[in-house]
Each structure stands twice: as structure tokens, then as C-alpha cells.
Amino acid sequence: MSESLRDGLIRALPYGRRYARALTGNQPEGDLLVAQSLRGLTSQPPAEGFTPLLQLYQAISRLYGLEEEQRSTHGPGLSPVQRQLLLLTTLEEVGVETAARIIGVPHDKALQELETAQKQLHKGVQTSVLIIEDEPIIAMDIELLVMQCGHKVAGVAHTQADAVQLAAQTRPGLILADINLGPGGHGKAAVAEITASFKVPVIYVTAYPERLLTGEKLEPCFVITKPFDPLTLAVATYQAVSSVGVAQT
């Protein structure tokens, strides 16, 4: 592996971890997928015009696809190809044409799969969402997006203490948490208190996702970047709620 590729992959790792964790639904499996994909990159020629980050996405997608083929049955909901396309184009903000190249499908088929997948999202899981956000205006915007995605808002907490209290009262099906709550505490600390009492999937919202995805022992499974649109939230929510065996942090 060349020095430039190695340096590029190091910078790409946080985003590779986010993609892999969202695909698999938990941190251990996602991080293992990244580690195995990195080893595979040493023997694969890079695709023409691909950056190290796109090469990492491609290696993760190939390995994930092989593992899903071995499972043979996927159950109801999105197919592996649809999950990859949705996550690449929304969470990772990759163009459709590039996403199609990453997972190895024709552009026209990618467009068809995305259209089908987006329809499936609206028919998919609905749940109650606890929003943890210290900025009232931002919290109102997130609340509107949550409702546009077809979910109910269990409550809005502006501080760590409020979040813990509201979670105990409402037992939400999903938590959407900001990291920095200013004087009101910390989003990860609030989540740690809540998930000590009951299991619930968590999506963290931050302007700096790379700070949360360093490969340490306990980290988020789902991270979306501010600002985000309704489709990004819908995809992340679907993955968080529908994933089996979601690991909490």
C-alpha cells in the first residue's frame, strides 16, 4: 500500500466506520467489517478516479455483500443493495452514479432500487422519538423532521437531567441526541444513564462525526451530520430501529 493511500485511508476511517456500523446495525460488527475491508485493499487495484474514502466504501460494500449472500435470507424490508445505496447517498452524501460504481450495479438499476427503497421507508417502522437538543429552534426543526418521517415525538429534552427524566416517563423507541448540551450537560452522558435502565436505539447528531468515530471500545452505532434533511433522518431511523441486535453506547 502506498504512503498516500495509507494516509488517505487514515483520514477516511471515521466515515468508513459510520457507514459500516449503519450497515450492520452495531459497533463491533461494523468495526470488524472495516478492519477486514482494509486488509482487502492491499490486494485490490483502486477503481479509476476513486479517492481513498471511496475505495474504503467500495471494500466495505463488497465484503458486506458477500456476507449477506452467505446468509441467503434477508427477511422483510430493504435488500442489502438498497441499504447500501440509501446509506451511501444520504448518510455519506455520495452521488448516485458513484454509489452505483461502489457497489457494482448499473446506474439505471441504482436509480430504480433507490426509488423502491424510499417508498419502503414510508411503509416501514414507525416509533416514538425522544429528542435531546439544547437549542430550542434547532429542537423545533428536528421535531418537525421527525414527524415528517412518520414518527411520534415522545418529548424534547434540553438538558441531560430532563432527558433522563423524559426517557423514564415515555420509554421511547428511539433517541435522537445532540452531543453538546452546553451548560445542561452532555448528550452521551444522558444516553448512558438512559440505556442503563432499558435498551433503545440511539442516533447521535453532530457537526463533527469524526470526533465520535475513532474506533474506541464504546462508541455510537448511528451518527448523522448537522445539518441534515428528512431523507437522511428517515434512512438512519429505519436502520437504527430495524437493525437486529443493535449495540448501545
Residue 108 neighbours by CB distance under 10 Å: 9
- CATH 3.40.50.2300, the chain: domain bounds: 125-242
Q: Which fold has domain 3-122?
A: Butyryl-CoA Dehydrogenase, subunit A; domain 3 (1.20.140)
143-179 confidence digits (pLDDT tens) = 998 888 888 999 999 999 999 999 999 999 999 999 8
pLDDT at residue 102 greater than cutoff 90: yes
Query: 125-242 sits in which CATH class?
Result: alpha beta
The model scores a pTM over 0.85: no
Q: CA dist 13 to 52, 139, 175, Å?
A: 10, 30, 25
Measured distance CA(119)–CA(161) in Å, rounded: 38
